[in-house]
Amino acid sequence: MSYEYEPENLDSAFIDEIYEEALTDKKHVHVPVEVLGPHLVKNRTGEVILNMDVIEKYSEYIDYMFGQIRAFHDTSKRYMAFQEGYIDYMNGYWTEDTDTILKFYAIGIANGSILPFDRSKNGILVAPKDSFVIPTLNTEDPRFPEWFENVYKKKYELRKNIGRPLS
């Protein structure tokens, strides 16, 4: 298998780069994205328009970054709470910046990694996770090299073959 992909760690600068590129490129197909679902926002001012060509270009990177979130490592849960997006799989805060997390969620929703957040029965903001997003490791994790060769490449190749529609 020829595999040229170089994974990116969960990083606010890279998220900003993807978000800004998807936001400013007005030449191609766009999709409206709202982080908070229609039951939570009455006046729809939270909508951003993102370029789907840019989202598709970074799709594997977006999935890879979502795979580093603790909630995606807990494959027994179909939903993630809004606050869980701040916490990586090693139980550390990768960001504490609300603007960064909102951009991260917006590109994730456009990519199909998660759906918009809504209020659960117990009042917590939750979003359904794409069950096909692979739990991933940070490239600095000592387990990374072996895991990337023996797990990720095989599972992601299978995911590409199954395919998934983008939002």
Mean pLDDT of 62-67: 96
Mean pLDDT of 130-136: 91
Nearest to 82 by CA among 48, 118, 134: 118
Mean pLDDT of 103-122: 90
DSSP code at position 16 = H
Give the model confidence (pLDDT) of 92-102 as tens digits.
Answer: 999 999 889 98
pLDDT above 80 (res 91): yes
Report helix, strand or coil for 23: helix
Q: Which residue has the higher pLDDT, 130 or 36?
A: 130
Quote the CA–CA distance of 8 and 138 in Å, as a whole number: 8
- The residues, ordered by sequence, that sit 6+ positions from 98 with a Cβ below 8 Å of its Cβ are none
Mean pLDDT of 78-86: 94
Mean pLDDT of 64-82: 95
Average pLDDT, the chain: 83
Give the model confidence (pLDDT) of 145-166 as tens digits.
Answer: 999 999 998 887 655 555 554 4
pLDDT above 90 (res 8): yes
With a pLDDT cut of 90, the percent of the chain lying above it is: 54
What pLDDT is stored for residue 1 in this prediction?
A: 36
